[in-house]
Chains A and B, each alone.
Chain A
Amino acid sequence: MSSALWFSLVGAALVAIALYGVFAEHHPLRRLIALNMMASGVFLVLIGLARQLPGRVPDPVPHAMVLTGIVVAVSATAFALALLRRLSRVQQEEG
């Protein structure tokens, strides 16, 4: 087994573990962490795919996709955290 395939499989397992986390957790912060982990799993699958080409040089397109994906994921995470803070504050005000 090549290390690219191994890491792809690890990515698949991460997605599965995170899927369990998203369903089984109930705190939004934990769900958010699980979603980030799921994203990491998906990225790992993608980068694993980039290596499965003949030749030494990996395919740059999945790399670019992952870089874009990371930016999108961090932006969404940061917004989700802002939303969570706001919600917690409103809950506190309303008692």
Chain B
Amino acid sequence: MSEALVVLMVLLPLLLAGMLLLAPGGWRQRMGLSATLLSVAPLPPLLWSVWHSGVVEVALGGWQPPLGIALRADGLALLLLTLTALIALPLGLHAGPWFRAHATVGGRGGEWFWPLWLFLWSSLNLLFLAADLFNAYVGLELGGLAAVALVALGGGRDALQAALRYLLLALFASMLYLLGVALLYGAGGTLDLALLGGRLESGVASRAALVLITLGLSLKGALVPFHFWLPPAHATAPAPVSALLSALVVKAPLVLLLRIWFELFVPLGFGAAGEVLTLLGVVAILWGSLQALRQQRIKPLVAWSTVAQLGYLFLVFAIATGLAWSATLLHLTAHALAKAALFLAAGNIVLALGDDRLSSLRGASHGMPLTFFTVGLAGVSLMGLPPSGGFVAKWLLLQAALEQGRWLPVVAILAGSLLAAAYLFPLLRHALTGTLKPTGESAGRSLPLRLELPPLLLALLALLLGVLASWPLALLKPAMPVVLS
């Protein structure tokens, strides 16, 4: 039974995407939300099953690895599937009205958003569940194409240019990844991650695979200095798409990297290479924050903040302890929720004001108090203030770094929080002070509740994660890689 649920997590969104494509354009928008709701259906029973009876493994086609492909639903996969669903539901509520409102100011893309999003969702679920390295490659390509098409829905010259650049980069990165996988297959004779762990030996081939796979996946995960494609793509995409990209799409390759790294490369004795990744993570936190501080526009600011927050996820490679691993995934979850909320709120603001300059925010909070409340709540989690999920994650990460006597990450974590406060503060300061200066036609439009509530819900979830952090941590504990536990 639970095996069927695992397969459905991937197949259901795919099937629904196909169904939506057969429906006429207007119907797609009307049925998009129902399709989103339906895709979540297999998750609760699966969660129940894994919580009570542990990991679910599926050998597809009845062929066990090394010949067949396996899907593995462990605690880590479940946490990410749940996170995706938690973001999908408010996003589904928000996207319909947003694209409709967007269409009234000349925007387009509403009818294509839903099928593309369902394709993307299917690929994300696949990547979280994949136990086979080549299957993960197909998942990466599926997700990459869907993400690029979603960025291109922005329609303007900047969006198309960002989309094309993103696509070329994604193809390049997947080729590096595939080359690494080819070498691993050549050395181990299987594509199954768990089996490879027992078969690989330390050698030139496995070292080369380490370099190629790490490069490929950190390009897709936008680690500094491979982050250059992210701000334009995330800033020019339609708001619901930006939320998806920053919250989930950049995280999927990172999760894959974490799995491969700690299940394959660290047992081989390549752990020391993690120092480089951690150093780059520190640079990412500082550089991303400083760039965010310099932005004069709302969406680029939020996008650069993503570059900075992604840096925290790379600290675990040198601080390789179980605590750091859990804290990293908790941070990933908290950031995803808070960033989705922030991007949706930013989209609302831009829609209402018809302008995305920070200076145009002056006094805007009077028109949409809920949206600015959301910005504040999401900011609390991004800065890492109690009682938010971001706080717990950063606190645990800090503790792990201190236990290992790693001072550089400690400094970066603390500085990152201060800088986050500095770059998020202008968003609120402008809005709360002064009176609204009407600019353009759509200025000062009031927002419907269906646009304001979903981001608020997401921000509340990010906050609540701090109080309920023991749940995800309990889910993660049994899924911890052997080298860490």
Contacts and interface: CB of A to CB of B under 8 A. Distances in A.
B192 to A, nearest CB: 12
Interface stretch (B172-180, B239-247, B344-352): B172-180
Contacts of B144: 76
Nearest to A12: B179
Interface residues of B, number: 26
Contact of B175 (A32, A42, A62): A42
Contact of A35 (B134, B145, B160, B175): B175
The bracket for how many chain A residues form the interface is 20 to 34
B141 A87 contact: no
B152 interface: yes
Contact of A83 (B141, B156, B167): B167
A31 B164 CA distance: 11
Contact of B182 (A49, A75, A76, A80): A49
A87 B145 contact: no
Contact of A69 (B156, B172, B178): B178
Contact of A80 (B134, B164, B183): B164
Given A28-B168, A79-B167, A45 B182 contact: yes
A35 B141 CA distance: 14
Interface string A39-53: 100100110010010
B161 interface: yes
A15 B176 CA distance: 9
Contact of A90 (B156, B167, B172, B175): B156
Nearest to A48: B186
Contacts of A61: 185, 191
A62 B182 CA distance: 8
Interface of A: 15, 22, 28, 31-32, 35, 38-39, 42, 45-46, 49, 52, 61-62, 65, 68-69, 72-73, 75-76, 79-80, 83-84, 86-87, 90-91, 94
Interface of B: 134, 138, 141, 144-145, 148-149, 152, 156-157, 160-161, 163-164, 167-168, 171-172, 175, 178-179, 182-183, 185-186, 191
